[in-house]
Copies of this chain bind each other. A is one copy, B any other.
Amino acid sequence: MKLATLKDGTRDGQLAVVSRDLKTAVLADGIAGTLQRALDDWSFIAPQLDTLYRQLNDGKARRVFDFDPQRAMAPLPRAYQWADGSAYVNHVELVRKARKAEMPASFWEDPLMYQGGSDDFLGPCDPIVLAREEWGIDFEAEVAVITDDVPMGATPSDAFQQIRLLALVNDVSLRNLIPDELAKGFGFFQSKPATAFAPVAVTPDELGDAWRDAKVHLPLRSTWNGKLVGQPHAGTDMVFNFAQLIAHAAKTRNLRAGTIIGSGTVSNQDPKKGYSCIAEQRCLETIADGKPATPFMAFGDTIRIEMHDGDGKSIFGAIDQVVRQLGAVEVAGEKSK
């Protein structure tokens, strides 16, 4: 089943069921007005959505319209929780290596995870609006899961049972704000602006055999300014699977339905697979040449993130964004450094 949220002028948009080929859609308004509402009562709502999805794919649904990703919001335009892991430890190791810092051995056993802002997600074609290029604007291509309720202390196998949907994420990062912010010790905040999502969230069965071991075994393609820069395999080098990431998040708290858990930037040890964030390329350049050569994103740059199945068909639709400068407003708290 594939689900999208359409712009209708409200904060939460309108839930739609999208055909497997992403060409057509039908509103789910008779079943659930919003995706959060569906997640709040999944066992009751999902079978009804699934019936509608079958009708749509079989050409038997009524009031069908063309699906336009430009009209899509994030599947959850705002969510109660967004927690992003860093499961591709290769990425973390590279970043450390570039700044000649040892990575603690515990990073291979204990997942890194940060709490992200979830009140203002971007739709797949919404611009990335920011005030300053100097902040070091970067994309991060990731896979994410959306869970049902997960009780505190859930084991990975318990957690696995609570995965309801999969999604693609562009976890936009402001690289030049990160060092000072992390040095303060409280994690990311200003360095993580609004996160974007691909047009549809899909149930795990849509991936067939590519969904196994709580990992997505397909390449994730990142195309920056029209040039393919990365196609690492999301099932390779993922040190912690989604079941483990969810269990990590639930160790000391309940996770409520609609919680989004990210994989972190998809990254393979094989450098021929390219990169899912510019920072990684810059790290490789720094390790090789002592300094980075590739700049971060400029206003006007585009980033496209997409995942295809074995037949070359897009599963989630594409994140397809342009970076734009915020109108001439004063940026509070900004100081020359």
Contacts and interface: CB of A to CB of B under 8 A. Distances in A.
A152 interface: yes
Contact of A193 (B187, B188, B252, B258): B252
A250 B332 contact: yes
Contact of A190 (B78, B151, B190, B251): B251
Given A80-B78, A115-B115, A153-B331, A120 B186 contact: no
A236 interface: no
A209 interface: no
Interface stretch (A52-60, A63-71, A154-162, A308-316): A154-162
A153 B174 CA distance: 15
Given A114-B187, A252-B174, A332 B247 contact: yes
A130 interface: yes
Interface in A191-244: 191-194, 244
Nearest to A187: B187
A178 to B, nearest CB: 10
Given A332-B156, A333-B247, A114 B186 contact: yes
Identical copies in the complex:
2
Q: Which of A115, A159, A192 neighbours the largest number of chain B CB atoms within 10 Å of its CB?
A: A115
A112 B194 contact: no
A102 interface: no
Contacts of A185: 112, 182, 187
Contacts of A333: 110, 244, 247-248, 251
Contact of A189 (B40, B79, B113, B330): B113
B81 A131 contact: no
Contact of A186 (B112, B247, B252): B112
Interface in A283-337: 326, 329-334
29 contacts: A11-B257, A80-B119, A80-B120, A81-B119, A83-B117, A104-B184, A106-B184, A113-B189, A114-B186, A119-B258, A119-B259, A131-B252, A135-B252, A152-B193, A152-B329, A153-B326, A153-B331, A155-B330, A174-B252, A182-B185, A186-B188, A190-B248, A190-B251, A194-B253, A194-B254, A244-B333, A248-B333, A250-B332, A251-B331
Interface of A: 11, 40, 78-81, 83, 86, 104, 106-107, 110, 112-120, 129-131, 135, 151-156, 158-159, 174, 177, 182-194, 244, 247-259, 326, 329-334
